[in-house]
Amino acid sequence: MSQLQFEPLHNLLGARVTGIDLSTELGDEDVSAIHNAMDEYSLLCFPEQEMTDEAQLAFTRRLGEPEPNHVTFGATGKIDYFATIGNVIDAENKKGSDDAHTRYQTGNNLWHSDSSFRLVPTRYSINHAYEVPGEGVITEFASQRIAYARLPAATKETIEPLHVLHDYVFSRSQTAPVDPNHAASLPPIEHRLVRTNPANGCKNYYVGSHARSIIGFSGIESRKLIDDLVDQATRSEAVYGHQWQAGDTLIWDNRCLLHRGLGYDADRWRRLMRQTRVSGDGPTLGE
Ligand SMILES: [Fe+2]
């Protein structure tokens, strides 16, 4: 068993974890220590990891069922467990700010929870950073668990039974066109607004940029409530901004966190991260 050491990254969420090599085959004790830490901190950063795609997929499988990338699957029908984040083409070439793939990725600059538009949404996202821009690039994280706990009791009661439509085309078409096959593969999905972590019983609300409307609410009422919940979760003092270093492997819990990228100058810098995801246990309506 590894000698895991945890050091909080922020007073509300996140921990830096040392004493483990994620590229080796992990024992059951290490896997359950990581799950327990995720339930507590919601985000873990493992610095200075010697990662490869093969090791990342093996690590992903140790934590649960890998989730096929919806962009590749929706557009081509092929299963690929990786997404590439950034603008690197090969050792010499990169895509600039005007490239369609770069523009498409700016959708990640809105507060969101990965794959909240899927019937079975993502449990964990796992990002490994291979190349990072020289002036630092930041991903921000905020906890909807902390924000839920701070709601008045009457608001908790009001939102408890509500259901929300999450719609990928609604959110992504704000920043870039969506491939028609991809759009057709992702009809709007209904989720609970309030979710409960099955391991520790902690509740959180579950919104973000893919949350389109509340079932039974008018458009105006829907947007007011959803936007208000996002604003409450993402007040500056509640946000942890992670400045990426090459070699960082980050895992975050999409069941309760929101995140967004702050962008970078793709004309100037190279950026390369590989992402895998661990699928959730089932539809949120069955939780
Ligand atoms: Fe994301």
Q: pLDDT per residue over 71-98, tens digit each?
A: 888 888 899 999 999 999 988 899 998 8
Q: Helix or strand or coil: residue 205?
A: strand
Q: How far apart are CA 226 and CA 42, in angstroms?
A: 22
Rounded Cα gap, residues 19 and 157, in angstroms: 43
**Is residue 236 over pLDDT 80?**
yes
Neighbours of 228 (CB within 10 A): 12
The helix-helix angle for 28-41 and 53-63 (nearest 10°) equals 80
Among the ranges given (50-64, 91-105, 144-158, 233-247), the one the predictor scored with the smallest mean pLDDT: 91-105
Tokens encoding 11: 């007073």
DSSP 94: B
Q: How far is the CA of 153 from the centre of ligand 1 (A)?
A: 30
Q: Which has more pLDDT, 73 or 254?
A: 254
Q: How far, in Å, from the CA of 108 to the mean position of ligand 1?
A: 5
CA-based max dimension of the chain: 57
pLDDT of residue 129: 97
Measure the CA–CA gap between 224 and 261, rounded to whole angstroms: 23
Closest C-alpha to 32, from 72, 4, 73, 69: 4
Q: Provide the Cα torsion 229, 112, 254, 159; round to 10°.
A: 20
> How far, in Å, is the centroid of ligand 1 from the Cα of 4?
27
pTM, to two decimals: 0.95
Quote the ligand 1 centre to 118 CA distance (angstroms): 13
Region of 218 (left: φ > 0; alpha: ψ -120 to 50; beta: rest) is: beta
C-alpha 125 to ligand 1 mean position (Å): 8
Whole-number Å distance, alpha carbon 50 to ligand 1 midpoint, is 23
Name the H helices within the chain: 28-41, 53-63, 70-76, 100-105, 144-149, 153-159, 168-172, 180-184, 219-233
More confident site: 181 or 59? 59
Residue 287 banded pLDDT, cuts 50, 70, 90: confident
**How does DSSP classify residue 167?**
-
Residues whose CB is less than 8 angstroms from the CB of residue 81 and which lie 6 or more positions away in sequence, other chains included? 57, 60, 66, 67, 68, 69, 276, 277
For residue 68, how far is its CA from the centre of ligand 1 (angstroms)? 15
- Residue 205 alpha carbon to ligand 1 centre in Å: 17
Using the mean position of ligand 1's atoms as its centre, give its distance from the Cα of residue 76 in Å. Answer: 21
The model's confidence at residue 103, banded by pLDDT at 50, 70 and 90, is confident
Average pLDDT over residues 171-196: 91
Q: Residue 213: what are its φ and ψ, rounded to 5°?
A: -160, 160
- Residue 133, pLDDT > 80, answer yes
The helix (run of H) or strand (run of E) holding residue 211 is strand 211-214
The confidence score (pLDDT) of residue 13 equals 98
State the distance from the centre of ligand 1 to the C-alpha of 206, rounded, in angstroms: 14
Distance 126 CA to ligand 1 centre (A): 10
Instruction: Report the C-alpha gap between 203 and 201 in whole angstroms.
Output: 6
127 CA to middle of ligand 1, Å?
10
Q: pLDDT digit string (tens) for 24-36?
A: 999 999 999 999 9
Q: How far apart are CA 207 and CA 156, in angstroms?
A: 15
Query: What is the average pLDDT value for the chain, to the nearest integer?
Result: 94
| Most confident residue range from 83-92, 252-261, 264-273 | 252-261
Distance, in Å, from the CA atom of 165 to the CA atom of 187, rounded to the nearest integer, reads 10
